[in-house]
Amino acid sequence: MNRDADESKEDFFCEALRRYGVEPISTDRSTLLDFRLVQDLGIAGDDFEDFFEIINSMRPVSGKLPRRFIPSELGSDAYHVAQATGWLSKKIPWLKRWHISRIKCPSITLRELFAVLYEGDPAPGSGQRE
């Protein structure tokens, strides 16, 4: 049953990412649900708002994600995301890894994002259980 639930969640995010048109900037994860929103997918700032609209249109959300997981467009984390997705980083893999390693906002995986938005779980690191 857990495997079926994970496959359903993975299909959901696969479709959402296809609609959004993003390709992971890091592919070091074994499953799509383990990809981190900012560090692996490069979704930050206003881009998250666009991604959120897509997932909300596919399945209305019931939870809320704290802003600490989404770096501002003007912050250094968003700068490193932009550099990691740039043409130079695509040609020089160590440069991409370096920029990804500089992203300091807390990470949240797609699995955790689903739990927060759809299953009522508290955000990772909040220390709360509802």
What would the mean pLDDT of 103-117 be, rounded to a whole number?
A: 91
Phi, psi of 51 (to 5 degrees): -65, -40
In this predicted structure, what is the pLDDT of residue 130? 39
pLDDT-derived band at 26, boundaries 50, 70, 90: low
Degrees to nearest 5, angle at CA 46 with 116 and 123: 15
Indicate whether 127 pLDDT > 60: no
- Looking at every residue in the chain, the average pLDDT score rounds to 84
Reported confidence tier of residue 51, pLDDT bands at 50, 70, 90: very high
pLDDT value for 129: 44
pTM across the whole model: 0.80
pLDDT attached to residue 112: 93
Q: Are 39 and 31 in contact (CB under 8 A)?
A: no
